[in-house]
Structure 1
Amino acid sequence: MMKLSEITVNVDELIGVNKYNVDEENAHIELCAEDLDTLPDDEFGKLVRVCPAALYKVDEDGHKTFDYAGCLECGTCRIACEGTIVSKWEQPGPTMGVQYRFG
């Protein structure tokens, strides 16, 4: 019998088996500024820490990036920052978004 300490989960590998149908014409998540570097560091930092798909990033030069294409549709970013820097969060349209697969 396996011990709990012997079980490892590779989240990136599991996320990689999901299928994404990205709606290029209608982003289901929008932030309140087009220039992400103008967003408050503390609020954006929340998104970097809580997004399970790692869609919010800050590079080594401090530049912020975001791409909704790999969204898991969990709503964590909406809960963390709606009303501060997340200006729109809605479910993707029919046949759009993530299709979870069990790998």
Structure 2
Amino acid sequence: MSKVCEITVNVDEALSVNKYEVDEETPHIELAEDDGSEAYDEEFLKLVRVCPAALYKVDGDGAKSFDYAGCLECGTCRIACEGTIVKKWVNPGPTMGIEYRLG
């Protein structure tokens, strides 16, 4: 009978070793202006659910926030909402963006 090795991964800890060079002047992700509509709210909540870096947030009072600075550049938000509220999604410029340290 073989032994099973169980490995637990702490995602926050693994992501914390990555290096980010944020282009403060030219964001690589831009959202359409919040028009207060139900459609916008639904699309934003979709981004809250799908972003693996949790960059899209809604606080207890319903205020929405977004910060591209911790982006993993996976493109999930672009796939989920391009053509709705994701107005721009491009790869960061040279020497900008994420540098993965754990594979």
Give the TM-score normalised by the residue count of structure 1. Answer: 0.89
Task: Name the % identity.
Answer: 74
Is 1:23 paired with 2:23? yes
Aligned-residue offset at 1:37: 7.2
CA offsets, 1:70-93, max 9 Å, x none?
000000000000000000000000
Tell me the equivalent position of 2:86: 86
* Structure 1 gap segments, 5+ residues each: none
Which aligned runs of 4 or more in structure 1 are off by greater than 6 angstroms?
none
Count how many residue pairs are aligned between Structure 1 and Structure 2.
99
CA distance in 2, matches of 1:73, 1:26: 15
Give the TM-score normalised by the residue count of structure 2. Answer: 0.89
Rg bigger for which structure? 2
The one-letter code of the counterpart of 1:11 is V
Tell me the equivalent position of 2:60: 60
Let me know the Cα RMSD of the aligned residues.
Answer: 1.6
The one-letter code of the counterpart of 1:93 is G
* Structure 2 gap segments, 5+ residues each: none
